């Protein structure tokens, strides 16, 4: 999906295929405005996400002031340490436009905990909860750590990301 870089939009960088499939499910939700989100191919590792952000996307934030960036990573049970490290690589000029979300461990554990739903189905459920301000799945043990960052993200992107709110 490609967004208009000169209008408010969200670029989502996913660490791996499972996260990318959840992002795809999220974006397939009928209330997500397709032209307001861009989803490049998954990158292949949380540290590679940060590297690509630093090399490519940080510059684009300067060029496109309407751009918001979401990094989707696996926290591998190191939430506080990994989040702090990632945020230390984001300049203060852009910290308010960059968000980091992810599963506390790995997507496979969430999929198992949810009865082996597809990643796309999980992503659609997460989107539906954002649209309707009901955060049941987001409150799951493997996702609840995201709540402060999710609240910050929704405040920033909800006005342009969803229709029929």
Q: What is the pLDDT of residue 103?
A: 98
Question: Domain extents for the chain?
Answer: 9-161
What pTM was computed for the model?
0.95
Please give the average per-residue pLDDT across 139-143, as a whole number. 98
Mean pLDDT, the chain, integer = 95
Per-position b or e across 90-124, b if 16+ CB within 10 A of its CB:
beeebeebbbbbbbbbbbeebbeebeebebbbbbb
Per the listing, tokens 């032209």 go with: 35
Confidence (pLDDT) at 77: 96
Query: Which pLDDT score is estimated for 2?
Result: 74
Indicate the CATH number for domain 9-161: 3.40.50
Helix (H/G/I), strand (E/B), else coil: 117: coil
> Using one digit for the tens of pLDDT, what is the confidence trace for 79-123?
999 999 999 999 999 999 999 999 999 999 999 999 999 999 999
pLDDT confidence band for 4 (50 / 70 / 90): confident
């Amino acid at each position: 999906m490609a967004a208009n870089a000169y209008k408010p939009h969200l670029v989502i960088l996913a660490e791996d295929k499972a996260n990318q499939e959840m992002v795809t499910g999220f974006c397939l939700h009928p209330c997500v405005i397709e032209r307001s989100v861009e989803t490049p191919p998954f990158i292949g590792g949380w540290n590679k996400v940060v590297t690509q952000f630093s090399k490519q996307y940080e510059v684009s934030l300067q060029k496109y002031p309407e751009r918001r960036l979401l990094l989707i990573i696996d926290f591998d049970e190191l939430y506080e340490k990994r989040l702090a490290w990632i945020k230390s690589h984001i300049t203060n000029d852009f910290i308010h436009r960059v968000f980091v979300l992810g599963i506390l461990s790995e997507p496979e554990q969430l999929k198992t905990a949810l009865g082996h739903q597809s990643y796309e189905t999980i992503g659609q459920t997460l989107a539906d909860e954002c649209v309707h301000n009901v955060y049941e799945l987001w409150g799951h043990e493997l996702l609840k750590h995201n709540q402060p960052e999710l609240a910050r993200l929704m405040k920033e992107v909800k006005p342009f990301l969803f229709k029929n709110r």
